[in-house]
Amino acid sequence: MLQACLNGARDSAFHAHTPLTPAHLAADAAAVVAAGANELHLHPRDPSGTETLDPGHVAAALTAIRAKVPGLPIGLSTHAGIAPGGPGRLEAMRAWQVLPDYVSVNLIEDDAPEMIALALSRGIGVEAGLWSQADAERLTALPEAKSCLRILIEINEQDVRQGLAVAVAIRKVLARASLDIPVLQHGYDATVWPLYQDALMRGLDGRIGLEDGKHLPDGSEATDNAALIKAAFRLARAAPNLPPEAVPPIAGT
């Protein structure tokens, strides 16, 4: 599975084609799906461009996207910096009338267990975001761990060797816990493509998009999210010795 992460905390200063409004998110969603993406991850914004979990703005983004790409799984971030922040994020989620298919929850955050339990109680899938071995150990101790939709191994280290080592440490904790649920592994900025290649080699799901980085494998700047998704497919098709299930089909075939 290749997930497109459309915007994250980025803005137009980072890249001119970072989608922020519901209309732009919907158009971008259609473009990345045409390029071959299987799922979406995004951060809804208010009219000022600020990340938000406000029920109205969440509904506007989800409704616009689903009109363009009906049936495609859509996930939202719940990170602690998103307005209204702190415990208010839980209250915002309780007030959602239009629900995403899943949410990402960072285990480094204090209220992660409460966020996971609330999402599951509302029928929303959970991507458990693990930044470190400690995060993995915290997740595996939770009774809800096996009810999560998938694990996100999220590498923030900018040194590739260090990032790969952190990913190994996380996977070892998951293996010891026999936590047999899908794993999506991704990097950030300097580690985007090395971590994606490592995910391909291991048969893990991947994630590519402007949230994680704006450069193509050759170091040039991508024109938009669709260009990043197309580059990921080209890289997968060219990678030697991959199991067939790790190589996505070319979009449109």
Q: Where in the sequence is the domain holding 138, given as residue range(s)?
A: 2-246
- Domain tally for the chain? 1
Q: Is residue 198 part of a domain?
A: yes
Bridge partner residues of 128 (DSSP): 105, 151
The amino acid at residue 149 is L
**What confidence tens digit (pLDDT) does each residue in 181-240 have?**
999 999 999 999 999 999 999 999 999 999 999 999 999 999 999 999 999 999 988 765
Q: Is residue 11 part of a domain?
A: yes
Q: Is residue 133 part of a domain?
A: yes
- The closest of 186, 147, 243, 216 to 3, measured between CA atoms, is 186
Distant-in-sequence, close-in-space partners of 70: CB < 8 Å, separation ≥ 6: none
Cβ(15)–Cβ(51) under 8 Å? no
Distant-in-sequence, close-in-space partners of 152: CB < 8 Å, separation ≥ 6: 104, 127, 128, 129, 130, 184, 185, 186, 207
Beta strand pairing status for 125-130 and 150-154? parallel
> Nearest 5°: phi and psi at 215?
-105, 145
50 CB neighbour count, 10 Å cutoff: 15
**What confidence tens digit (pLDDT) does each residue in 116-129 have?**
999 999 999 999 99
Which parts of the chain register pLDDT below 70? 239-253
Q: Is residue 253 part of a domain?
A: no
Q: Is residue 252 part of a domain?
A: no
Q: What is the CATH number of the domain that holds 153?
A: 3.20.20.70
Helix (H, G, I), strand (E, B) or coil at 205: strand
Nearest-angstrom CA–CA distance, 73 and 46: 22
Q: Is residue 232 part of a domain?
A: yes
pTM of the model as a whole = 0.90
Q: Is residue 72 part of a domain?
A: yes
Tokens read off for 190: 């300097």
Q: Is residue 251 part of a domain?
A: no
